[in-house]
Structure 1
Amino acid sequence: MLDRRSFLGSAAAASLAAPIGAQALTSVPLPAADLHAKNEDAYWAALRKQFLIPADVVNLNVGTVGSSPRPVLKAIFDGFETTEQMTQEGSEDYPIWGYGAWDQYRKPFADFMGAKVEQMAILRNCTEANSYIANGFDMKPGDEVLISDEEHGSGEMPWMLRSRRYGVVVKKFAMPKPAKNAAEILNRISDAIMPKTRIIFVSHISTSTGVVLPAKEIAALARSKGIISAFDGAHAPGMMKVDLNDIGCDLYTGSMHKWLFATKGTGFLYLRDRSVMDRVWNTIATGGYDDPARMADRYMQIGSSCIPTLMGLNAAIGFASSIGMDRIEARNRMLADYIHAEMMKRGAQDWTSPDPALRCAIATVNVPPVQRMELQDWLWKNHKVRIRGGNPSKLRLATPYFLSKADIDRFLGLFDEYRKMKGA
């Protein structure tokens, strides 16, 4: 009989004997280019096989974190294998990131987001990018930032920290729940603007309700009043087509690990032009942070980091582009509309919007007296269905393109079963 030490040693030896990432590196053919036109269900089912999520798991919580598909994982693993050999060409080249411009990773993502490479800084997550703005935007005590009452903690808390330390005033406006139309949101922002408002910081897609805010109109409103516009776009990349320069905002942040299914530990900061960059101080500094000629690259001077994550990001962009963002967005919207309609039939209260234009791949509903956390745990522990939401009774239902209607119907059936079981 093995003692604990012997057992651990045997387990370690077994893990070393197995190929690293064997499951992820197993090649699964992508669907033929013409399959979508012939059989949509077969096309999306074939793409589902690119993800390591077991077939009996239904993930309605991509709003928290996505799952990287096989091509992305392969790029990451190959990247580690290559970089860790320490055979880089130059005597000063190492498998770290923090001192170069890395345009080979910035440019594909900038192109994907409708931006120029000099406007884009690749960071480690959206929280870091939001903190750059809140901590670095040039303001004096008494100046005001306008945010919504639906901001994620990583969007709101950096401003609260700035307020506590330096006397910046955080003002909130109440988002309509649900938002009937885009004009209703825009009017609430307009009514909340005050003489000391210096920056409007709101989510492009609300993390709590999933409503898609009218970003282009908000940016135009801000500009008309001489106010900086900034958006937390954590949910937008990979969920819907985004053209940052068309939106016309001054600042935009986001994550790639949710809907783009890129490497965990990838985020970004977009800055429209030099006039905006001159108003945002670096809050992480090393050599090159103060070189204006580097444009957005100077916000990437953060010290050593991880090149394979960027290789995975490039693979994620390639994967999404091979499907097509128009096709992905249409699929996301169709599935969200379907689950939204089905929950409305069940008497749920809409917390996103009755307007399909203000939804994409998240539908949030309120289902009292059902207790969200109890339902969430029951679904996962007993049926391998993941959801998330807000207490006491809000369910945030995310619908990534790889789900099928059968997956959603499975959740709906279980929701009905749970309500009946609880006598709700």
Structure 2
Amino acid sequence: MERRSFFKGLLASGLVLPLLPKAGRAGGDPVELLADDLQKFPTSDPSFWQRVRSEFQMRDGVVHMNNGSIGASPRVVTDSILQALTKLEADPYHNTWGGLGAGMEDVRQHAADFIGADLNEVSLVRNCTEGMNNIASGLDLEPGDEILTTNHEHGGGMSCWQYLRQYRGIKVNYLKMPNPVQDKAQLLRVIEQHLTPRTRVASFMHVDTITGLQMPMADIAAITRPRDILLVCDGAQTPGMLDIDVRALGVDAFASSSHKWLLAPKGTGLLYIRKQVQDRIHPLSLMKGYTAYSGSGGTRDVAGILGHGTAIDFHNAIGKARIEARCRQLSMRVREHLRQIPRLRLLTPEQEELSSGMVTFAVDGVKNSEVHKKLWEDYGIAAKVAQGTYVYTEVAAQLGENYNCLRFSTHIYNDESQVDRLAEALATILA
């Protein structure tokens, strides 16, 4: 049964909680109704984004600007999970491996389409960390082979390489990220200088979890592919924030956490492995060979995966390009407002091609944790404390830098008034 058919059946049965104005509910798919509503407004009309924001369930007074850590699912996603669970538990045997469960392949196809991949290149995982570990564990590497990464990687994207270093004798080289990054040419030059004849894998985050820098993956691929170096991308931050196409990025493998910017259920993610390199990254399960990457060989969270598919539909209803533009628009507003506060220093690159929906400022003269605490306790603003070299890794001692910074992630459930509220709060706290 396809997910849309299931949803329509529940609507007709009267089991669905009200999602939209009463006039639009009878027998309609909530995602399709949202898309129809949005056609009434140009994207530049504030009513467009007000309509989108009405789909979220944020408590009054909460300004969530830490989407880089965790997203807030829209009501259509949480309702789809509850409805699937209700139906699943009414007939668990038939709905786990048939019925509802059969819809998981439909979700996998939706996910592949969403990131520009083929079905046989994509699997559904629980998060980016699991995806990165699947990649690393499947590689045929020999002692002395080298992996190039950076000192800004998230612990979830770096721990897999540390494991290979500790237990399989693989050498991990850490590139110290320039700060600030002057331009793309500087970044590419530094990367190329750190490649050696023994480099087998280059592993980089798509968006820097500390500074919000967007790595120029396609340009990096132009350096690594002629050298037969596998390019692995920690894409935890980008699906749902940027209008990505993994083929255009040129990466060989890409892992992501859908519970961030894609606003999918917690514990959902994507793994892409380019078909041309699948013989170099072995699957962890031997049950069906490489097709085991589909995750179809064991019991899964059916409701969560179906909710994952609903989140993709939600994004498609709004438009990936529109969402990216909105994230950038709000991020730029954060940048413009906060740069006027004397004790804040921008760490995120200015160039659009190197920036993203996350913006980071270093705080001078006071601990970032104190500012972070005041933002939440006094103003209801959730942000992210970021130190510098990621605290989960031992390279903090080798290449450590403490930027004493705060990271702000703006998504489609934020608006201009919340950015203004953030600026006013920081100006008061840092006065």
The TM tier, using the shorter chain, reads 0.7 to 0.9
Where do 5+ consecutive residues of structure 1 fail to align? 1-23
Paired residue type of 1:139: L
Residue in structure 2 matched with residue 298 of structure 1 by the alignment? 293
Paired residue type of 1:287: M
- Written as runs of structure 1 = structure 2, the 5 A alignment for 1:90-105 is 93=97, 102-105=104-107
TM-score, structure 1 as length reference: 0.86
Distance 1:190 1:415, change over 3 A: same
Paired residue type of 1:361: G
Residue in structure 2 matched with residue 307 of structure 1 by the alignment? 302
Contact 2:111-2:270 at 8 Å conserved across structures: no
Residue in structure 1 matched with residue 322 of structure 2 by the alignment? 327
Residue in structure 1 matched with residue 47 of structure 2 by the alignment? 42
Structure 1 residue 101 displacement after superposition: 9.8
Q: Note if 1:28 corresponds to 2:29.
A: no
Q: Note if 1:75 corresponds to 2:65.
A: no
TM-score, structure 2 as length reference: 0.85
Distance 1:72 1:102, change over 3 A: closer
Q: Deviations over 1:155-195 (max 9, x none)?
A: 11111111111110110112222222222211111110011
Q: Deviations over 1:224-252 (max 9, x none)?
A: 11111110000010001011122221111
Structure 1 residue 206 displacement after superposition: 1.0
Contact 1:235-1:258 at 8 Å conserved across structures: yes
Q: Note if 1:178 corresponds to 2:180.
A: yes
Contact 2:107-2:306 at 8 Å conserved across structures: yes
| 3-state secondary structure, aligned to 1:231 | strand
Residue in structure 2 matched with residue 6 of structure 1 by the alignment? none
Q: Note if 1:246 corresponds to 2:221.
A: no
Q: Deviations over 1:386-413 (max 9, x none)?
A: 0112236201011112211110110111
Q: Deviations over 1:232-287 (max 9, x none)?
A: 000010001011122221111101111110011111211111x422211333x362
Q: Note if 1:59 corresponds to 2:64.
A: yes
| 3-state secondary structure, aligned to 1:246 | helix
Distance 1:197 1:361, change over 3 A: same
Q: Does 126-135 or 37-46 show the bigger shift?
A: 37-46
Structure 1 residue 40 displacement after superposition: 2.1
Partner Cα separation in structure 1 for residue 336 and residue 420 of structure 2: 12
Partner Cα separation in structure 2 for residue 383 and residue 408 of structure 1: 12
| 3-state secondary structure, aligned to 1:84 | helix
Structure 1 residue 38 displacement after superposition: 7.7
Partner Cα separation in structure 1 for residue 423 and residue 413 of structure 2: 17
Residue in structure 2 matched with residue 381 of structure 1 by the alignment? 377
Contact 1:361-1:399 at 8 Å conserved across structures: yes
Contact 2:287-2:297 at 8 Å conserved across structures: no
Q: Does 124-133 or 171-180 show the bigger shift?
A: 171-180
Partner Cα separation in structure 1 for residue 410 and residue 210 of structure 2: 15
Partner Cα separation in structure 2 for residue 241 and residue 55 of structure 1: 30
Residue in structure 1 matched with residue 200 of structure 2 by the alignment? 198
Residue in structure 2 matched with residue 14 of structure 1 by the alignment? none
Residue in structure 2 matched with residue 145 of structure 1 by the alignment? 147
Structure 1 residue 55 displacement after superposition: 3.1
Q: Does 41-50 or 202-211 show the bigger shift?
A: 41-50
Q: Deviations over 1:313-339 (max 9, x none)?
A: 111111111110111111111111111
Distance 1:269 1:58, change over 3 A: same
Residue in structure 2 matched with residue 398 of structure 1 by the alignment? 409
Residue in structure 2 matched with residue 11 of structure 1 by the alignment? none
Q: Deviations over 1:65-120 (max 9, x none)?
A: 00100111111111111222226659x936897xx894211100100100110100
Residue in structure 2 matched with residue 136 of structure 1 by the alignment? 138
- Written as runs of structure 1 = structure 2, the 5 A alignment for 1:351-366 is 351-366=347-362
Structure 1 residue 302 displacement after superposition: 6.2
Q: Note if 1:86 corresponds to 2:91.
A: yes
Contact 2:84-2:100 at 8 Å conserved across structures: no
How many residues are aligned here? Answer: 388
Structure 1 residue 143 displacement after superposition: 0.4
Partner Cα separation in structure 2 for residue 238 and residue 139 of structure 1: 33
Partner Cα separation in structure 1 for residue 238 and residue 329 of structure 2: 17
| 3-state secondary structure, aligned to 1:195 | coil
| 3-state secondary structure, aligned to 1:37 | coil
| 3-state secondary structure, aligned to 2:161 | helix
Partner Cα separation in structure 1 for residue 250 and residue 353 of structure 2: 20
Distance 1:298 1:362, change over 3 A: closer
Where do 5+ consecutive residues of structure 2 fail to align? 1-15, 22-33, 388-401
Partner Cα separation in structure 2 for residue 263 and residue 139 of structure 1: 34
Residue in structure 2 matched with residue 340 of structure 1 by the alignment? 335
Structure 1 residue 298 displacement after superposition: 3.3
Structure 1 residue 376 displacement after superposition: 1.2
Residue in structure 2 matched with residue 414 of structure 1 by the alignment? 425
Distance 1:382 1:302, change over 3 A: farther
Residue in structure 2 matched with residue 266 of structure 1 by the alignment? 268
Q: CA RMSD in A?
A: 2.2
| 3-state secondary structure, aligned to 2:244 | coil
Structure 1 residue 36 displacement after superposition: 3.2
Distance 1:326 1:96, change over 3 A: closer
Paired residue type of 1:270: Y
Paired residue type of 2:61: D
Distance 1:233 1:87, change over 3 A: closer
